[in-house]
Structure 1
Amino acid sequence: MKTKSRFGLSVAIAATIMGLGAFSVASAQDISPEHEAAAKAALQALGINNQFDEILPNQADLVQSQLTQVYPNYHSLIDEVVTDTAIALAPRRADLEKEGAQIYANIFTAEELNQLAEFYSSDVGKKFIQYGPIAARELGQAGDIWARGIARDLSQQAQQELNRRIEADGGTPVEATEIPAVPAQ
């Protein structure tokens, strides 16, 4: 459950960063070492760096599976080659962490990054990382339920008031069963 919660938070953060595409990584060369260190600390506190660790093993498993389908008689050799290649590529993981830190440093000041790292390293910050996605999902569900109730009540009450005004004007009201319920968005 903890992994899924961190994944949900990271997806949200990644979506936010992608939405802020106006910030260029190219301007990262202006970032001081202290600013970059603060960004790395914030990424670590958010648990994002841990997910970077999963990328290479996951991709190695995928490549191994694909190669085994093509060359089923060479499973052992494929395992050895993919493992050796993955180990050779492992040092590149630091590049991803540096790029992530530069992205955060382009968006947040060093002081803000230090505040984020401090908060997300605290007990309440860790709890937010763990349970924030659950709370967000439940809040979304509560909003959906509320929206459906409001849609139902709005439709019924508007229909009743419309019929009252049509009757007052001498017209014939429409049966409420003839009007479909308005679905919640």
Structure 2
Amino acid sequence: MRFQTKIGRSVAVAATVMGLGAFSVAAAQDVSPEHLAAAKAALNALGINSQFDEILPNQADLVQSQMTQVYPNYHSLIDEVVTDTAIALAPRRADLENEGAQIYANIFTQEELQQLADFYSSDLGQKFIQYGPIAARELSQAGDIWARGIARDLNQQAQEELNTRIAEQTGSAPAPQ
């Protein structure tokens, strides 16, 4: 369940960032330190920053696996080298958090970010983070079911009405399709 929540939140964030592509870090506006702090607080409340924690360990596992395939006799040494290198790269994690804060600061005002942080830090906001993706998925499924039912009924009723009108115009029922 927690994995699905992370995926749902990741998808929502990616869609938001992609949908607002006109805003970019490259075209970053000057924002105050307070504005960036509000953006970081919002990202933390949304749980986005904690998702960044998995990137380096996942990439280290991938690199270690790839190197072990090439050099199978050096598994212990590869483990040591990759772990040491990953630890050396860990401080760069803050760069990603800062970039995320800059992106949000370019899109939202400081006040809006504070409102987001307040809401998503609340019990209701946390419940929304946890269950929002589930509700969205179920709503999408309900929409799909409804659309299929409407398509079926529309087709059936339109066909019946067409047959009636053709029969009125020609005096005989059309051949079934």
**Could you tell me the TM-score, scaled by structure 1's length?**
0.92
**What is residue 19 of structure 1 aligned with on the other side?**
19
Structure 1: give runs of 5+ residues left out of the alignment. 179-185
- Runs (4 or more) in structure 1 with deviation over 6 Å come to none
**What is residue 113 of structure 1 aligned with on the other side?**
113
**What is residue 103 of structure 2 aligned with on the other side?**
103
Distance 2:167 2:70 in 1: 75
Distance 2:16 2:55 in 1: 20
Instruction: State how many pairs are aligned.
Output: 176
Q: CA deviation at 1:27?
A: 4.1
Alignment of 1:166-181 (within 5 A): 166-170=166-170, 171-175=172-176, 178=177
Distance 2:25 2:110 in 1: 16
**What is residue 80 of structure 1 aligned with on the other side?**
80
Structure 2: give runs of 5+ residues left out of the alignment. none
Distance 2:69 2:6 in 1: 32
For 1:99, give the aligned amino acid: E
Distance 2:81 2:175 in 1: 74
**Aligned-residue CA RMSD (Å):** 1.1
**Helix, strand or coil for the counterpart of 2:54?**
helix
Distance 2:78 2:111 in 1: 48
CA distance 1:35–1:72, change in 2 (3 Å) = same
**Could you tell me the TM-score, scaled by structure 2's length?**
0.96
Q: CA deviation at 1:13?
A: 1.3
Distance 2:15 2:30 in 1: 25
Distance 1:88 1:72 in 2: 24
Q: Is the 8 A contact 2:46 2:117 kept in 1?
A: yes
CA-to-partner distance for each residue in 1:66-117, whole Å, 9 max, x for gaps?
1111111111111111000000000000000000000000000000000000
**What is residue 183 of structure 1 aligned with on the other side?**
none
Percent identical among aligned pairs is 81
